[in-house]
A and B are shown apart, each in its own frame.
Chain A
Amino acid sequence: MKPIIELRNVSKKIRNKQIIDNLSFKVMAGEVLGFLGPNGAGKTTTIRMITGLMKVSSGEIIINGTNLKQDFEKAISQIGAIVENPELYKFLTGYENLMQAARLYKGVTKEKINQVVEMVGLKDHIHNKVKTYSLGMRQRLGIALCLLHDPKVLILDEPTNGLDPAGIKEIRHYLRKLAHENNLAILVSSHLLSEMEMMCDRIAIIQNGKLVNIQRVKEEEVKTRPYFIQVDKITSALNILQDAGYEANPHEHGIEVYLEKKQVPEIIQQFVQQNILIYEVKVISKSLEDRFLEITNDKAVTSHA
């Protein structure tokens, strides 16, 4: 895997206000990276810089090996993007909107246009004026517009904005499919964590223009995880674990210990041999949600202080 989008120490100042502060991250081919942050965190601003709508104050943006600033046309031709809402020409039909875009890229064939129309399920309405479209249909047309030229990169700012649950599910399905089957690098932003968790492979949390955390959504990848074990003899249980070299601490009515999955039965066996009664064993999963709330609350407190 190689990075398709790469931000290196990107900063943005608008009228002496630091909107984005030294942001660096990469999006690989074949992955969906979620860009998560509360309102005003700087998600849209970052996306505007990646799409060339805003210029960076400092730092570099590399798209598939091409520096955006040095060769704008080459870099941008590999991107399909919707910044905020898909803005369409309402007095044109869906098809005419697609033609507007098709004319501006090399090698977009009629078949390709029909194929994307089919894919987003707009076949029956494509010759109607866009002003007659529902919000969901506009989002679909927006996605079709982005995919016409087979981009390497897809950037969507709040793509599920205004969609019903079925629509959200469908978008999720497209995006995962495009990343995993067509090997696109996809960046989506949102301030809804639950949505991101289902859609993304990794999530980057941004707050006040700074990257605070970036992590995989699937926790299986993490080797050791914290387990809570409720026992009757806390001290002897702790001693056994600490002697065996585990990182263990007392917890309310039990202990907290970092284990790999395959170590769990071994530990239980040992406890049973030592006549320690086990009432409960469970993973203490610090969910992304906890982390997100933790981060945003912390920051909210500090920013009020």
Chain B
Amino acid sequence: MLNLVKNESVKLLKRPSTYIMIALIVVGTILFGFLTQWLHSNSKNDSNNDWKQGLQQDIELYEQEYENTNEEWYKNWMESQIAINQYRIENDIPPSYVDYSMWSFIDESSLMITFVGLFVIIIASGIVANEYSRGTIKMLLVKPYKRWKILLSKYITVILSLLFLLAILFITAAITGALFFGLGDTNAVYLTYENGQVIEQSLLLYLIKLYVLSSVSTLLLATMAFMISAVFRTSGLAVGISIFLLLVGPIITSNLANHFEWTKYTLFANTDLMQYLEGTVLMDGMTLEFSLVILAIHLILFLAISFYLFNKRDVSA
């Protein structure tokens, strides 16, 4: 099994397209660093010295809004913001924009996870389909491994490539952030609002969690792409559908969520696990456990279809 995964990794690492992906992530992050620095140097003048005053103003703004809105999730979100801002003022913990450092940059670079998602979907769409289009599937399936083992090794390789690209993004962001903005406070904390209380967390731990949890939707979509390419044996369709959903899925879902109760059972209502970290949920009655169950059901369904068809079908490519 290990050797199967090794073979798959070799095949990926010998392709120029893999290096283009890695290069795009690295270059993209560095450009993002330049952009961020430029924006900061422009806004240096509006002094952040009196950040406590700024937060106090925000609190007052939220309190007014709170009275005027009926949206439940908005109220919850403002409640958490008010609590966190008050905690900062009381405990003298400035928000990240005051002392912009490597940590803040890693945090903002998590936006780039969408890119990682894009690339992993392309990998997942091709890893089975390309064997068919090259005809090499015939050489692969006559090796002394049952078909499910061969497919599993490919799926494991997809997950490894997701973790690998995430690590590259994280490390590039850390290095770029350190060079542009300095190391910052190594003991920095991250504040969340859970069950009516503000909680301090290690910032590094929070950022790793942020990266991993932000990749959940990527993992699910990559698995879906994997399934589509195992079913149709071509990568184009899998790339198209999955990337479309990656980009517009969350938007459609949040629109639907305002109108239909059943939205909460859909994939995209549950892929954003950050909502539980930040304590603001999309819809009432949604919990971390609920989302995990829905995600697991989707994942199992995608994999079951992939393995069933891959095992059963005749290969006459």
Interchain Cβ contacts within 8 Å, total number: 74
- Enumerate the 4 nearest inter-chain pairs by beta-carbon distance, A residue then B residue, closest first: A87-B135, A77-B144, A54-B314, A103-B3
Tell me whether A104 and B142 are in contact in the complex, defined as CB-CB below 8 angstroms, given that A87-B136, A92-B14 are known contacts. no
**23 pairs of residues in contact across A and B, judged by CB atoms under 8 Å:** A48-B314, A48-B316, A51-B138, A52-B141, A53-B141, A53-B314, A53-B315, A76-B142, A83-B138, A83-B142, A84-B138, A87-B137, A89-B14, A89-B134, A89-B136, A90-B134, A91-B14, A92-B11, A100-B7, A103-B6, A104-B145, A105-B143, A145-B139
Contact, CB under 8 Å: B15 / A103: no
Known: A87-B134, A89-B134, A91-B15. A52 touches B3 (CB 8 A): no
Chain A interface main SS type: loop
Interface residues in A56-101 (C-beta closer than 8 Å to B): 72-74, 76-77, 79, 81, 83-92, 96, 99-101
Whether, in the assembled complex, B231 has its beta carbon less than 8 Å from a beta carbon of chain A, the answer is: no
- State whether the Cβ of B259 lies closer than 8 Å to any Cβ in chain A: no
B10 within 8 A of A: yes
Of all chain A residues, the one with the shortest Cβ separation from B11 is A89
Q: Which residues of A contact B145 (CB under 8 A)?
A: 73, 104
Cα distance, A89 to B142, chains bound together (Å): 15
* Inter-chain pairs besides A54-B315, A88-B136, A104-B4, 8 sampled, C-beta below 8 Å: A53-B315, A73-B144, A87-B136, A87-B138, A91-B15, A92-B14, A101-B139, A103-B6
Is A8 at the interface (CB under 8 A from chain B)? no
Assess the B142–A79 pair: CB atoms within 8 A: yes
Taking CB atoms and an 8 Å cut-off, the chain B residues in 110-149 that contact chain A are 134-139, 141-146
Total interface residues on A, CB under 8 Å, equals 32
User: Interface size on B (CB < 8 Å)?
Assistant: 23
B3 CB contacts on chain A under 8 angstroms: 103-104
In chain A, residues 1-59, which have Cβ atoms closer than 8 Å to a Cβ of chain B? 14, 48, 51-55
Say yes or no: A55 contacts B7, CB within 8 Å. Answer: no
Which of chain B's residues 280-316 have a Cβ closer than 8 Å to chain A? 314-316
Given contacts A96-B14, A103-B7, A105-B144, is CB(A87)–CB(B316) below 8 Å? no
Known contacts A89-B134, A104-B3; decide if A53 and B142 are in contact (CB<8 Å): yes
Q: In the assembly, what is the distance between CA of A105 and CA of B7, in Å?
A: 12
Q: Is B134 within 8 A of A104, CB to CB?
A: no
Contact between B144 and A53, CB atoms less than 8 A apart: no
Contact A52 B142 (CB under 8 A): yes
In this complex, the member of B10, B11, B142, B145 whose beta carbon has the largest number of chain A beta carbons within 10 angstroms is B142
**Shortest distance in angstroms between B179's beta carbon and chain A's nearest beta carbon?**
35
Give B309 Cβ to nearest chain A Cβ, in Å.
13
Residue of A14, A55, A81, A83 contacting most chain B CB atoms (<10 Å): A83
- A10 to chain B minimum Cβ distance, whole angstroms, is 14
Distance in angstroms between the alpha carbons of A53 and B131 in the assembled complex: 14
Nearest CB to that of A49 among chain B residues?
B314
Q: Which of A72, A99, A104 contacts B146 (CB 8 A)?
A: A72
Residues of B within 8 A of A55 (CB): 314
Q: What distance in Å separates the Cβ of B271 from its nearest Cβ neighbour in chain A?
A: 34
